[in-house]
Amino acid sequence: MTIPVDRLTDPAVRSFVAAVNAGDRQAFWDTLSPDATMSDDGSDRELREWADLEIFASNGHMDVESEQADGRALIALYRNDTWGEMRTAWRFMVGEDGKVTRFETGQA
């Protein structure tokens, strides 16, 4: 059973997931602070390059199974054309302005 995107608790995370699933680059970048950072499987990555490869060029999509930490920690089935589908964990840090300042993802 998955959680509908519009039912995700944290507004910044909700916008992030909606942008990923819509393949909407502008909406995605609008959810992030200008100096946002990220890591994948414990390694910091260059955010723009990672997003282009893992989300936009490969039709990334998140089906959220569960959320914790007031909606800032997710378990999701993530799929894209490169890697197929995998169970992933996502953790988000959100600034006072309501934008994602950092996210960390990796296999769950």
Residue 37: CATH number of its domain = 3.10.450.50
pTM: 0.96
Range of the domain at 101: 5-107
Residue 1 or 90, more confident: 90
* Predicted confidence (pLDDT) at residue 92 exceeds the cutoff of 90: yes
Structure confidence by residue, pLDDT tens digits, 33-51: 999 999 999 999 999 999 9
Q: How many domains does the chain divide into? A: 1
Report whether 72 contacts 94 (CB < 8 A): yes
Q: If you average pLDDT over residues 52-78, what whole number do you get?
A: 98
| Contacts with 67 (C-beta within 8 Å, 6 or more apart), sequence order | 3, 8, 9, 10, 13, 73, 74, 75
Q: What separation in angstroms does the CA of 67 have from each of 35, 76, 96?
A: 25, 9, 21
